[in-house]
Structure 1
């Protein structure tokens, strides 16, 4: 069996960091906007909005270093679950559980400008792959 998903997109809003009530494990959630590879009849590119879940230390890194509009790559698996809502209806959720998140934006320079050189995210454990075309 194989359940693997790789996505590249931008965050639609700032990530939300929470901790599980019993064990205190960090979990961050956000929505990733991923452009479709084709245009609609009006010639406009559409996007899919995909819920992402990140756990533990990586969740804390995402919450601390990502913001609305950040470009990231996500490697993970599709997960489906269901629950009973407060109104008694059964709700179904499909989401991506991230196993690896890569920060793809350039790191801002100290003087406030953007730099395409020396992308160093080593302080948060991520590297930017300069060879990826976007």
Structure 2
């Protein structure tokens, strides 16, 4: 049987569609291609945006701000020296945009103006750091993206 160009074009088109469908199904079913949302409660988080904005402004108005640096033992957060660290209350939240299973939260329990996030908790890659803290009744917020 002799094939004409129309039959060849139809076969090629069918194979191309099968090829594309294979990749769509593969990406939607394999766990290694599973990308999580940055936050599950997006709309609830949007409602408190103004409070977070005000807390960030408070943090920016301080003389000095929280600094972070990588050291051998992990990630070191240093709070401003001009405030009494014993009055600081809050939490440190680290999350991986690529895998929500690696997210974790630590309470702020300072024994000095420095807080160490242990190396064993951080895998190499990008992390978002959010420190929500209060000092003398005022709310503060520190957000940074780090590559560990």
Structure with greater helix share of residues: 2
In the superposition, the TM-score normalised over structure 1's length comes to 0.23
Larger Rg: 2
In the superposition, the TM-score normalised over structure 2's length comes to 0.21
Structure with greater strand share of residues: 1
